[in-house]
Amino acid sequence: MFIYTLGLFFTEMAWASPVELLLIVVAMLLVLFLSAPACVENTGQLSLTNYLFSAWTGCVWLRWVFWPFFILLNISLYVADTLAKMGLLTVSSWDDVHLMLLLPIIWWTTAVWRCSQNTTQSIFAAASRLLTLAVFFEYGLKLLIRLDYPRLFFGCEELLLDYGSCF
């Protein structure tokens, strides 16, 4: 996350400085930490059987919901962004990748928020919730780049079929 977009956010868009964004992130982490659910003492109901449904209902350990999808999502976003910057992926295909990932991100966000009580410390619940919100901020930045700054992000000189999307 934020490998290519945060640099454009600070240099080209200049809506906020890194210090301002850091203060916002710390404030959000503090709010999420203070509102984090109490940690579970009884772990008898937690299992990995029927994983998708159990995660959706909040009956799985937070680490089993958060980390697998977080790693897969970041690899997918990095590959799509790198291919788009090199001009090997058209703008429409880049849009399709992000649209295909949107519904699983919504499932993942819901599962993480419901499973936040299934951790040993409240800071883990707050940090995982903050990172799910950061994914939506990343998507907002990517939408802004796609609509207003496509020539800065995409290799428009190498996109022959989809050159019209760069304007």
Check if the beta carbon of residue 106 is closer than 8 Å to that of residue 135.
no
Structure tokens at 67: 């980390």
Q: Is residue 19 part of a domain?
A: no
pLDDT in tens, 22-47: 999 999 999 999 888 777 655 556 66
pLDDT in tens, 59-100: 889 999 999 999 999 999 999 998 888 878 888 888 899 999
Q: Is residue 60 part of a domain?
A: yes
List the domain range (segments joined by +) for residue 112: 56-167
Q: Is residue 50 part of a domain?
A: no
Residue 126 CA to its chain's centroid (Å): 15
Q: How many domains does the chain have?
A: 1
Check if the beta carbon of residue 150 is closer than 8 Å to that of residue 165.
yes
Where does the chain have alpha helices with state H? 5-8, 18-34, 51-57, 62-86, 91-114, 122-148, 150-153
Q: Is residue 37 part of a domain?
A: no
